[in-house]
Amino acid sequence: MKKYRLIAAALMTAGMLTGCGSQKNVTAKTNGETSAAETEVSVDYGKSSLFSKDDIDQAAALLMKEFSGWEGCEMHKIRFTGDECNSADNIAWINQLKEGQNYTQCLILYTDFHSPKEAAGAWEADKEYLDYSWVFGRKDGGEWELLNWGY
């Protein structure tokens, strides 16, 4: 299992792993401080013949950067959905999300997280959200871009 450590401030990635097909432990920290509010999050890489752990780590880091701004939410798990996410239909869809782009790859991660104890924004109070999707696209040789998230 890969572990991310969340601390209430902005998230910075601590490092990357190599290879694919397992779970690992790694820590991503904010500003180097420790806090009682730290949460460890596992990343399940699944099995892939298309994407490396580094590919999944890069997408997970973007996800965690976005998620770190979701005040009161606690991330529990991140998992790779499998190579089938890179289908022609999904690639066509992500190219429609951002006109003028020519994404050649699609990667989707699922997360499980808990909402704040009090209702906030779009979240129901004190609820576990399962299989919440995060959609990424990239062009040949490029970096992942976070394009969409939700159910």
Annotated domain spans of the chain:
2-83+109-135
Q: What percent of the chain has pLDDT over 70?
A: 74
**pLDDT single digits (tens) 101-121:** 999 999 999 999 999 998 877
Reduce the secondary structure of the chain to three states and give it as a string: CEEEEECCCCCECCCCCCCCCCEECCCCECCCCCCCCCEEEEEECCCCCCCCHHHHHHHHHHHHHHHCCCCCCEEEEEEECCHHHHCHHHHHHHHHHCCCCCCCEEEEEEEEEECCCCCECCECCCCEEEEEEEEEEECCCCCCEEEEEEC
- Tokens representing 122 are 């779009």
pTM for the full predicted model: 0.76
Amino acid 76: pLDDT = 95
Q: What percent of the chain has pLDDT over 90?
A: 62
Mean pLDDT of all residues in 7-22? 31
